[in-house]
Structure 1
């Protein structure tokens, strides 16, 4: 199943053609300007274009399923499941892009309903039922297809509820497919480069080192990725706002939104990093006692994710939503190349630690590069050396020190309870110190925009 779903996700990535980012920008622009004709055109293309490209890639996968399953992986039993995943490709691509299109209206709940609630719940429920009655791998694949089909139906329904004109003759849609695809394709290639980053360290570690080291590193890397939860949620909210402000020429306002949301991303991700740094050994012990050795690599990877949350993540979307998608693409390609080179150099020397340093340094470096590109292209920088960031650092440092004391005091306790209690203490100390220092005027402005 893991092989099949991985192949599916690669196929879906190419089927989307970067439209999941493109539609957010153009829906936001046309919605804020009141251009219903072009808005209708983009919404129809949000479903239609990935559906068509998904049919092309899905057909290729369908007819190549036997050679892939038998010749490439030596698993002939994988072929029927691959054919089911091939049928799911156009459905999944259309669902993904359509769900992102709803966020262009500066409404985030529909994407959450579709992608975070409806799809995983139906998929899990059907997979349990079908596998229990004996359908095995094919049952799991059918569960994914049915869940995607229902999610696509929900996506179309939600788009219609936001913009009822999509199902009517009027307004007449205006399609600007060339503009949309030209903008989106570089973003799609950039996403592919990021996918290379996510797998390069694991694959190279597997080539140079033992399976046990790969397991330890995989646990650490997946745990560090959980730090993206806050930043990812903020991006969903702020990307359409940035696109709208840029299209209106409100560059000063856009700069304030960028700086404030970057600070939010950093300040809300910092306590997650502190928890990882202080209670990392106990967290990794959930996977087994032997995984404790991944604590230091986890901290290094966490530093990279913190840098990404602070200056890299929103810089990435600032470039995309302002029409500087090629800057973003070049940064993503640079990230992939840097990561590959550093992994080749460091893994033979330091093993798991080398993979962590390579990936952490790559993410941090590219985050800084993206911030520099935003400064160059848009004239907007992040003022790191001011009272606002200083109070975040002071609160974080104090919370970390208190967390270390509590962690040492709780050492005899069961590792799960120790990790949970330490995390609670760190969060209470951090926000207890930060909130009394006051909410900035810019923060109030952002809250008004979100509401």
Structure 2
């Protein structure tokens, strides 16, 4: 029990700090999208969306899956006190993705006209693609390098760079450039500057957590073959996962006008807000999997898996209820022309709710336990399904078809991963605590729905705030009345001790 308590204590500390960063980061990112939508309008905002999607695909290939590989091997080398290999690994986390990013960046730069005109039929997209091509090596190194620091089971450096510095710098510069009339060009240059600044910060924090990385007294050992053998399959799997996330927007850009892409982007970005709690827990949970699995502590691993998954689902459910009840009000923040995306927003939010449970953690269970090829098989199967559904549905139903195809794909892959974890590791992610969560959510939804129907005389933004607050209050109160699980009490007791509210 003492060992379990110690691990839970670390989970709470790391996830709590990460969650605070996630809240601020999400606010920066969402505010950036809202302001750019205001300034640029739905059509130019749609072009910006397409440019950033192409960038994310290019950055994913440049990373080569190393953002997962470095977390695993940092945890292993740190536990073994193998400083020479740890130093080599940290350097590889910066240099390898940068070199790869140069190759993919040059390729994107030279083919930007072909992609903009030949694929999307939007020649005005070309300058944006050339700018993000330059940003590729910097962005890839930032991602891999800063994720490597989480292998030390320390969340703060990733929060500083990934959650705070990068989105804030992008927000500040993008809004400044677009306000003075630089439009699409200014928005994409802002991202280039942001990733360069963030890379400098990543190198500095890597040195602060492991000073030997710049010490001439320790000669690094590079296990490149082992690292790439583990990471590359995950890279392909991440590509397939990104395909599932962005196929809808890319195909909308191919089949439909740019304005529709912009509206769909607003809906999809709003739905992604629901991943806030899951990402916070995953940040500290991922290196724990590798550590516990390598030590053979499967019972403790299963306990943390179930608890973290249930917390993620329970914290995400009220966000989903708010989207269902006030979806049109939320999109109204972007502008009146964006409100027609309210139904696709609800469908996409449903997919993210499915991801918030055990399925969202199962992918990390498979990767960190060395079953990356099994994860890859699931990714491939679902990516093919998603592409097929989008090709079938988007020409007929536009944004609605894209949302349904993506929602089905996300639900399917999470169910498959839950099954894979159970069959391979004999660990399942559910317990009876979910019944309490669903009961409280149902009651909160009914109250929120009737309240919003009654508040027709109130300005939409005030109605949104009042309805959301009511749903949160009712939901939280009901969960508290129904009681907490034993694992919850352990964690809350640790939190109380850390805050000085309870005695040790």
1:58 to 87, 94, 105: 105
1:19-418 matched pairs, under 5 angstroms: 19-64=66-111, 84-127=131-174, 141-205=188-252, 217-289=264-336, 291-347=338-394, 350-384=397-431, 386=432, 388-418=433-463
Q: In 2, are the aligned partners of 1:19 and 1:97 still within 8 Å (CA)?
A: yes
1:415-430 matched pairs, under 5 angstroms: 415-430=460-475
SS in 2 for 1:104: helix
Q: In 2, are the aligned partners of 1:16 and 1:94 still within 8 Å (CA)?
A: yes
Q: In 2, are the aligned partners of 1:260 and 1:446 still within 8 Å (CA)?
A: no
More divergent stretch after superposition (72-81 vs 236-245): 72-81
Describe the superposition over 1:37-70 as per-residue Cα deviations: whole angstroms up to 9, x where unpaired: 2222211111121122122223334455566667
Q: In 1, are the aligned partners of 2:150 and 2:287 still within 8 Å (CA)?
A: yes
Distance 2:342 2:189 in 1: 39
Unpaired stretches in structure 2, ≥5 consecutive residues: 1-46, 499-504
Higher relative contact order (CA 8 A, sep 6+): 2
Distance 1:70 1:352 in 2: 22
Question: 1:293 deviation in Å?
Answer: 4.8
Question: 1:141 deviation in Å?
Answer: 4.9
SS in 2 for 1:175: coil
Question: 1:176 deviation in Å?
Answer: 1.2
What is the number of residues matched between the two proteins?
449
Query: What is the TM-score with the length of structure 2 in the denominator?
Result: 0.80
Task: Give the 3 Å change call, closer, same or farther, for CA 444–164 of structure 1 in structure 2.
Answer: farther
Q: In 1, are the aligned partners of 2:120 and 2:253 still within 8 Å (CA)?
A: no
Q: In 2, are the aligned partners of 1:52 and 1:90 still within 8 Å (CA)?
A: yes
Q: In 2, are the aligned partners of 1:257 and 1:446 still within 8 Å (CA)?
A: no
Distance 1:270 1:419 in 2: 17
Unpaired stretches in structure 1, ≥5 consecutive residues: none
Question: 1:72 deviation in Å?
Answer: 6.6
SS in 2 for 1:172: coil
Distance 1:345 1:77 in 2: 28
Question: 1:405 deviation in Å?
Answer: 2.6
Q: In 1, are the aligned partners of 2:57 and 2:242 still within 8 Å (CA)?
A: no
Task: Give the 3 Å change call, closer, same or farther, for CA 208–183 of structure 1 in structure 2.
Answer: same
Describe the superposition over 1:279-331 as per-residue Cα deviations: whole angstroms up to 9, x where unpaired: 22322333455655544433332222111111321111111111111122121
Task: Give the 3 Å change call, closer, same or farther, for CA 289–32 of structure 1 in structure 2.
Answer: same
| Cα RMSD after superposing both structures | 3.0
Q: In 1, are the aligned partners of 2:444 and 2:474 still within 8 Å (CA)?
A: yes
Distance 1:48 1:210 in 2: 39
More divergent stretch after superposition (50-59 vs 68-77): 68-77
Task: Give the 3 Å change call, closer, same or farther, for CA 252–170 of structure 1 in structure 2.
Answer: farther
Distance 1:212 1:87 in 2: 26
Distance 2:125 2:253 in 1: 23
Task: Give the 3 Å change call, closer, same or farther, for CA 434–208 of structure 1 in structure 2.
Answer: same
